Amino acid sequence: MQGYDPSRLLYISRQFHIHGELLHAEPCKVGHINETYTAAYNQGGTTVRYIHQRINHEVFKDPVGLMDNLSRVTAHLRHKLQEKGSRDVTRRTLTVVPARDGNSCFQTDDGEYWRTFVFIERVRTFESVENAEQALEAGKAFGEFQHLLVDLPGERLHDTIPYFHNTRRRFEALQTALVEDRVNRASIAKAEISWVLQHENLCDVILDALANQRIPERTTHNDTKFNNVMLDADTGKAMCVVDLDTVMPGCALYDFGDMVRTTTSPTLEDELDLTKVQMRMPMFRALCRGYLEAAAPFLNKEERSLIAFSGKLITFTIGLRFLTDFLNGDSYFRVHRPQHNLDRARTQFQLVRSIEAQEEAMQTFADSL
């Protein structure tokens, strides 16, 4: 992230349809990818907040396509929520503030892409689940998100990151990183590399089902970490799903699998003490119950049969990505300490082991709902 430059942000803020005077802004240390600021404006004597965000166009190669996806999806979500008679709609989905040139984002002369959202007030996010009620809300939030987008009109969404959850591609990327070993780190991760190679059989299970059309392509979030669900600060109920950069065509199971990864373990994704990393069955039951309460009307039999497996697969896939980035010199994910990406990978692989030990019981519970 660049250093905070007030004059730079003031210039950016003036490119969007925002009334009032910019009072102050501050960086938000959220996410691995984009540069984000919270900005407060004086509008008729009331302080109103917005989010200004620079899209990382090195990660997202087509920012315009990304924003087309995001605008279409948020508009459809708003329409569906209003159709259902939902209250607090502006807190239930992101609101894109258009740029003054009429576009959904603004491109600077030096090629940066910026966007603005209405700040959602009176909500909280958590890095990890604290209780089963939160897991239930997370499951409901992402299940409803998928359900509301089942009938998204228009052409197929853009692939903002092609092959994002394609485990076979991620496995091949790791193999390439091993051969190149460009920063001489393979020797540090021998145990993790060996374990991954022994689990290659996981790669193609869902890919084959998609290719054979036993599982349909759906509009999915593709980054369903628990901290991407905003909970009402007073009631604890799910309000809004955020971080929509990876919303694109995908597989519903990938979304559920990433929920398992980020809500069932009591630790952060870079926990150093691996004895603390475990898939907690009470959390899985709550998550699964909430998700299927919202998603059961559209999931098919094949999708439901792979509910437990999806958690194992996506945790394995994210571990592959962290390990590959470590071998490549930390070029994708932000790191905050030496070997940070290797620590993240180790945590994912430990969680895979815990899921493997409980996979049968997990699927039995899902089948009972």
Give tens-digit pLDDT for 313-356.
Answer: 999 999 999 999 999 999 988 899 999 999 999 999 999 999 99
Segments of the chain assigned E as strands: 21-28, 35-43, 46-55, 96-97, 106-107, 113-118, 123-124, 218-220, 229-232, 238-241, 248-250
What band does 196 get if pLDDT is binned at 50, 70 and 90?
very high
- What average pLDDT is seen over the chain? 95
Please give the Cα distance from 53 to 245 (Å, whole number).
Answer: 12
Pairing of strands 96-97, 218-220: unpaired
pLDDT digits (tens, 9 = 90+) for 212-246: 999 999 999 999 999 999 999 999 999 999 999 99
The pLDDT value given to residue 291? 98
Rounded to an integer, the average pLDDT of 49-54 is 96
The residue-averaged pLDDT of 173-186 equals 98
Alpha-carbon distance of 291 to 137, in angstroms, equals 8
Using the structure block, give the residue that is written with the tokens 């996410």.
Answer: 31
For residue 41, what are the contacts with CB-CB under 8 A and spacing of at least 6? Answer: 18, 19, 20, 21, 22, 23, 47, 48, 49, 50
* CATH topology classification for 132-368: Aminoglycoside 3'-phosphotransferase; Chain: A, domain 2 (3.90.1200)
How far apart CA 78 and CA 246 sit, in angstroms, is 19
The proportion of the chain whose per-residue pLDDT surpasses 90, expressed as a percent, equals 92
Give pLDDT tens digits for 86-135: 999 999 999 999 999 999 999 999 999 999 999 999 999 998 889 999 99
pLDDT reported for residue 31 = 58
Strands 238-241 and 229-232: antiparallel
CA dihedral over 268, 258, 333, 278, signed as positive or negative: positive
Give me the percent of the chain exceeding a pLDDT of 70: 98
pLDDT tens track for 270-280: 999 999 999 99
What pLDDT, on a 0 to 100 scale, did the predictor assign at position 2?
Answer: 54
Cα Rg of the chain (Å, integer): 21
208 three-class SS: helix
Fold match, 6-121 / 132-368: no
Give the pair of three-digit tokens for residue 105. 């984002």
Domain extents for the chain? 6-121, 132-368
- Residue 3's pLDDT band (cuts 50, 70, 90): low
User: In this model, does residue 1 exceed pLDDT 50?
Assistant: no
Question: CA-to-CA distance for 287 and 227, rounded, in angstroms?
Answer: 14
Under CATH, what is the fold of the domain 6-121? Phosphorylase Kinase; domain 1 (3.30.200)
